Amino acid sequence: MASAETDSKSLFSLESYHVSEEHGFILPEPLEELPPYYKPWMDIALRVPELVHSHELRSHVNKMPLLSSTFLQKHRELRLAHLALSMMTMGYIWQEGEKNTILPQNLAVPYWEVSQRLGLPPIITHADAVLANWKKKDPDGPFNMQNLELLVRLPGGESVRGFFLVTLLVELAGVPAVRSIPTVINGVRCSDTEAVARGLEIISKSIEDMTDALRLMQVYVDPSVFYGIMRIYLSGWKDNPCMPKGLIYEGVQTEPMEYSGGSAAQSSLLHCFDELLGVKHEPKSASFLIRMRDYMPPLHKKLIQDISLQPSLRNFVQQQDCKDLNKAFDLCVTKLLALRSYHINVVSRFITVPAARARQLREQNHDSDGEIISRAPTALEERGTGGSGIMSFLKTVNRNWKWVAIGQTVFTSWGSD
């Protein structure tokens, strides 16, 4: 059991990382409005889908006044501003498909300033579109699909709502796991096998709930709409053949800058699990995942780094002669493998299969005007919105998990996927 000499001040805690006991990495109660000075931003941000559809977004943005970010004082104000400016930017860049442009000064400069203050990049991130982009229709009602709405949207209709809100529910399902990370770390520090096993059991159940939440994606998102309409608006300008040199942010610097688009790899949840369970990725995958941490709120990134500095959970489990502890650890790995495997299934359904269909239509010179999937840029067919070679990346990450478990039900070899 825990040592009586354990100094409570040295206990690992989530208090200093902007992680909520109730909401985890989700921003609690995001603001819906900015101060009146910023009305020109919100007026356009709330109309991005219709203005893109009518090809009028760029003209509206070009007429927008250049506003100072100095009147944004609170964290939630900065997060809503970043969300609004992100939505405008993605709509502005991709309104005309793969035809390149620059980001005008009246959008680029305040976007850069807000990004610098938050420690986020000037492009849409998971922290914007998912973690800070929600409200309850009934403030006292449940946190579910029926009672949730987005603050701002990209083109794609109800599938956009479904995509971001289902992802939000996956984050919410992971909250008990996040809350249990300190229990596991502190248990390892003071050799409390019961506390570690108890924490791991909670994490396993939470990960199972995350997988169940992810299954809602097939209910609320149309794969053809995601692939043919939504996906380009989540795409960035790094490792993107459409924009090989990146994007010029006018008034910020004269040379183009490269940033990856929104990606599930920017969720802090799985990064925390990787570090807690001691997963080591192959160099190429590891490099991409580490880079994705620069797209997280800085304190969330610091939490991941601090978890990596703790005594090894895997070594602790191996050193204990405790079947229950081994079983709890291996169950965590099994549940994580199930989650990652299901994610691969989702990616196949929403990207790989539609991409194959789009290629087939092109090769057959099919009259594809009525096919939504044919609207997607060909340059993104094999890539995730974050710029990764998507299926090979996900399968490599999954193979690394198969190496981690310890007990009798272990995944001891990499195997094939």
CA distances from 90 to 28, 44, 55, 258, 315 (A): 25, 13, 13, 14, 45
Q: Which two tokens stand for residue 304?
A: 């991941």
DSSP code string of 193-243 = HHHHHHHHHHHHHHHHHHHHHHTTHHHH--HHHIIIIIGGGG--SSS-TTS
DSSP 297: -
**Is 82 annotated as contributing to ligand binding?**
no
Helix 283-292 to helix 390-401 angle (10° resolution) is: 100
CA distances from 321 to 188, 326, 329, 404 (A): 14, 9, 13, 18
Q: Which two tokens stand for residue 36?
A: 């009146």
Helical residues (DSSP H) of 30-74, grouped into ranges: 39-45, 48-53, 57-62
CA 225 vs. chain centroid, Å, equals 20
Nearest to 56 by CA among 65, 48, 45, 64: 48
Q: Could you give the CA distance from residue 123 to residue 112 in angstroms, rounded to a whole number?
A: 9
Q: Which two tokens stand for residue 110?
A: 């305040």
3-state SS class at 55: coil
CA distances from 1 to 4, 11, 192, 194, 196 (A): 9, 15, 5, 7, 10
Q: Could you give the CA distance from residue 211 to residue 223 in angstroms, rounded to a whole number?
A: 18
Q: Could you give the CA distance from residue 85 to residue 101 in angstroms, rounded to a whole number?
A: 17
Residue owning tokens 């070899």: 413
Q: Binding-site residues for heme b, please?
A: 343
Which residues participate in the annotated binding site?
343
